[in-house]
Structure 1
Amino acid sequence: MTPSRTASGEPSGELSARKSGPRGGRPRDPGVDEAILVATRRRLVTDGYSRMALGDIAADAGVTRPTLYRRWPGKLELVIDALDYGLRAQTAATPPLLLEVMTPKEAFTEAIRRVDPCYYNPDAIVLQGGFISEADRVPELLEHVVTRAVEPRVSQVENVLRQLTDRGAVRADVDTRTVATMVFGAYFGAFLRGDDARTRAGLADKLTASLWPALRA
């Protein structure tokens, strides 16, 4: 069942409390935090990191600039929190991958489906492409995305292949890292070649049809 979402794609009310709170005064309103983070994610898609302005984000969120600065000292800290907000929402909305109730081929297909950057957020490829373009100026952003978003998904494909190898369903000599990297890159390739979201949604089945005969034991 698809959870209800905000305009940026996150489930409504999914914001977790930040570790750092205000220094005295009234407690922070989590609804204000969420509005700012949602506005930040939207601006990342429409404007990109370099062009997005904190004043625009504050206006989009319906708050003042001092309200924003009381929570985040600068743009980098705000963007990293906005990314983590989306990742928390994605984790909460993604069911566990239960290999024991799947055939080996079904498990491999589902692992490929979940490696899609747009598996949860349809704007993810645009976001990640923007962070790649900022790698020289703001390397922390791309590093954060790779560590928190990309590597866990790609590693899951490797882990599934290893478990299927242990079950005797996949050849022991398969280069799991290369296979995992290849299926992840296939989604960017399809996007750049102009495939729409509907076409890319069927990519997992097509990749499995092409790769599984060479992988199975």
Structure 2
Amino acid sequence: MTDYLDEPDRTGPGGRPRDAALDGAILRATRRRLVVDGYSKMTIKDITADAKVGRNTLRRRWKNKFDLVVDALDYGFRTQGNLSAVDLDRLEPIDALIEAVRYVDPASYSADAMMLIGNLAAESIRTPELMNILREHVVRPRVEFIQIVLTQLRARGAVRADIDVHTISTLCFGSYFASYYRGEMDAHIPEDVVTVLWPTIAGRRTSANRRSTARAGRDG
């Protein structure tokens, strides 16, 4: 592993771009410290030691610990990949929704994500701003992502026009937390949740297609 040391500020006019690998090392170290120590106990000193960077290197990038935590939470979702680049039109509607729900799994980037989220929520009494971080940088982008997919499916006639996309999206994302606290996290949550929801939200065209397929299978 490369040992990153203090380096010239590269963000000024004419400077070279910031080192993405260096940023990633710091953000991953921050996420790990949020899991192990929690927000109030983690220190910039520990983060720089874990990331093998100098304190000034971190300070040039983030004004304070709070801003660093915001970026660290965003980092997990950014590095999962971009599902919007996948042509969802090529998938059956139910499969497109399953993939969308799979994509918003907090643990898809880090197995410790649920513990990290729980630690931040627990400390929101001492630092109320942390709950806003969770809402804006963990919950909102994931719920909105599923909403976008449902809206696209609705435009295709694959789901009913009158569905409440916000509530359905919230249920889909919330299923990960229910499963985690139930102690039954597994890889089948997206399929299980969407399979239960689908008969209620599927559009007439989709339902008709499924009935036609079933009849064709029986006749064959």
The residue that corresponds to 2:99 in the other structure is 110
Q: Which of 6, 24, 47 is equivalent to 1:57?
A: 47
CA distance in 2: counterparts of 1:112 and 1:77, whole angstroms? 28
Q: Is the 8 A contact 2:88 2:96 kept in 1?
A: yes
Q: Is the 8 A contact 1:99 1:107 kept in 2?
A: yes
Q: CA deviation at 1:33?
A: 4.1
Describe how 1:16-165 pairs up with structure 2 within 5 A.
21=11, 32-91=22-81, 94=83, 96-165=85-154
Q: Is the 8 A contact 2:76 2:109 kept in 1?
A: no
CA distance in 1: counterparts of 2:164 and 2:19, whole angstroms? 49
Q: Any idea what SS the aligned residue of 2:85 has?
A: coil
The 3 A distance-change label for structure 1 pair 183 and 137 is same
Q: CA deviation at 1:63?
A: 3.6
Structure 1 residues 17-76: Cα deviation after superposition (integer angstroms, max 9, x where no partner): xx98379x9997665544333221211111111111222222222344455445444321
- State the number of aligned residues: 196
The 3 A distance-change label for structure 1 pair 68 and 176 is closer
CA distance in 1: counterparts of 2:18 and 2:155, whole angstroms? 50
Q: Is the 8 A contact 1:39 1:61 kept in 2?
A: yes
CA distance in 2: counterparts of 1:165 and 1:26, whole angstroms? 45
CA distance in 2: counterparts of 1:30 and 1:168, whole angstroms? 42
Q: Which of 167, 185, 194 is equivalent to 1:208?
A: 194
The 3 A distance-change label for structure 1 pair 143 and 102 is same
The 3 A distance-change label for structure 1 pair 188 and 73 is same
CA distance in 1: counterparts of 2:127 and 2:163, whole angstroms? 36
Q: Return the TM-score normalized by structure 2.
A: 0.74
Q: Return the TM-score normalized by structure 1.
A: 0.75
The residue that corresponds to 1:12 in the other structure is none
The one-letter code of the counterpart of 1:116 is: D
The 3 A distance-change label for structure 1 pair 74 and 110 is same
The one-letter code of the counterpart of 1:181 is: T
Structure 1 residues 79-107: Cα deviation after superposition (integer angstroms, max 9, x where no partner): 22333333432346x56242210111111
Q: Looking at CA atoms only, which structure, 1 or 2, has the larger radius of gyration?
A: 2
Q: Any unmatched runs of 5+ in structure 2? A: 2-8, 204-220
Q: Any idea what SS the aligned residue of 1:173 has?
A: coil
Percent of paired sites with the same residue: 47
Q: Any idea what SS the aligned residue of 2:107 has?
A: coil
The 3 A distance-change label for structure 1 pair 81 and 168 is closer
